[in-house]
Amino acid sequence: MHEDRRIRIFEGLGTGPKGIPDNYNLALKIADSELVAILEGDDFWPSYKLEKQVQYHHRLPSTILTYGDYGVTNPNGNLIYTARPARSLKPEIRNNNPVGSMAFQMLLSGGTIYTFPCTVMIKRESLEAIGGFQKINEVPLTDFPTVFKLATIGPFGYVPEKLGFWRRHYGSVTYGYDAQVLQNIFTHCLGVYSHDTLLRSFEINDRLIKRRWAWSIAMKHVTRGRIGLLRRQWDIAEKEFRNALHMTDSFIIMILARIGIIASSLHFNLEGLARIMRGHDLRDFLGG
């Protein structure tokens, strides 16, 4: 490694996926910089990322978090597609204006993370103001609850450029967690909403939000079912697809889950169909 006194390495922090929030908070405690950015071990940044976001924060110092688009790559780092989830939002919501609107949108979306971790830069004092990276019992992810909480205290800034690359593979935490984790995040965020005066000023359609989260959780079961098919774990795949059926009355989920159950019985995967529909499929990231 090129010797640079600004780079410090801390070893022996490996506490498994559920220890990620603790490790992040230890790094936050050690950090003495004004701004904090996250780069997990299997992701990477474009060379211009830090400069562009630092400039944004200096130009608009009231901004507590900046983020942008991200590339999704295979395990070898080859770009498969570019994700731009925030571009579907109104400009005001992208920038969390009024404060709290992004948190409400995250709740309304059924768990979409518009501020993907490898693109984010956060003011350290803002992170400290919410108690650091948020930790939920039995949840190996800190990004969604942390951004959700940050959205209650200050404006965001969306940079319409690719600010990070997410490497998708079997060993990543994102693929490792099950649908129960998503349910736990939903329960946590509802609790934050119910106790936050600012968030309660946004009118909530409780039934609609529960339906959208149920749909997201069902889709998690579908994805895990597809992975099971790729791994030729037919019984596991069928169980995931049946779980998806029980989560929601969505017609789309019903069709996908029933096709998955048939595929589990006849021992074939669905990735050819996925490629026709989306232009890419799980084999791009997971092999098979």
Q: Are residues 44 and 104 in the same domain?
A: yes
Asked if pLDDT for residue 288 goes beyond 60, the answer is no
> Does residue 288 lie within any of the structural domains?
no
Look at 10 and 53; give whichever has higher pLDDT: 53
CA distance 112 to 110: 6
- 201 domain residue, yes or no: no
Answer whether residue 204 shows pLDDT above 80. no
Residue 126 lies in a domain: yes
Put simply, whether the predicted model's pTM sits higher than 0.75 gets the answer yes
**One domain for residues 165 and 231:** no
Do 34 and 137 lie in a common domain? yes
182 domain-assigned: no
- Which among 126, 154, 176 is the end of a domain? 176
In a domain, 184, yes or no: no
Q: Note whether 216 and 119 are same-domain residues.
A: no
Same domain, 57 and 116: yes
Shared domain check, 94 and 50: yes
Q: Is residue 186 part of a domain?
A: no
Q: Among residues 283, 270, 266, which one has the least CA distance to residue 244? A: 270
| Residue 101 and residue 57 in one domain | yes
pLDDT (tens digit per residue) in 210-251: 999 999 999 999 999 999 999 999 999 999 999 999 999 999
Same domain, 121 and 213: no
Helix (H) or strand (E) holding 165: strand 156-167
Count of structural domains within the chain: 2
CA count, 13 A, side-chain hemisphere, 36? 22
Q: Is the peptide bond before 46 cis (omega within 30 degrees of 0)?
A: no
CB 165 within 8 A of CB 76: no
Q: Do 211 and 219 meet the contact criterion of CB atoms below 8 Å apart?
A: no
Please compute the mean of the pLDDT values over residues 137-150 and round it to a whole number: 88
Mean pLDDT score of the chain: 90
Residues in contact with 72: Cβ distance below 8 Å, sequence separation at least 6, in sequence order: 79, 80, 81, 82, 83, 165, 166, 168, 285
Other Cβ atoms within 10 Å of 199 Cβ, number: 21
- Pair 216, 165 in one domain: no
Domain termination residue (choose one: 176, 196, 222) = 176
* pLDDT bucket at 196, cuts 50 / 70 / 90: confident
Q: What is the DSSP letter of 249?
A: -
Provide the CATH number for the domain around residue 152: 3.90.550.10
**Residues spanned by the domain of 249:** 207-282
Asked whether residue 103 falls in the same domain as residue 161, the answer is yes
Tell me if 154 is assigned to some domain. yes
Which pLDDT belongs to residue 13?
62
- In a domain? residue 197: no
Beta bridge partners of 36: 122
CA–CA separation, 116 vs 200, rounded Å? 25
- Higher-confidence residue: 252 or 169? 252
Phi-psi region of 276 (alpha: psi -120 to 50; beta: other; left: phi over 0): alpha
Angle among Cα 128, 129, 135 to the nearest 5 degrees reads 65
Residues 136 and 246 in one domain: no
Q: Same structural domain for residues 252 and 163?
A: no
Average pLDDT estimate for 250-264: 97
pLDDT score for 90: 96
Q: Name the DSSP class of 214.
A: H
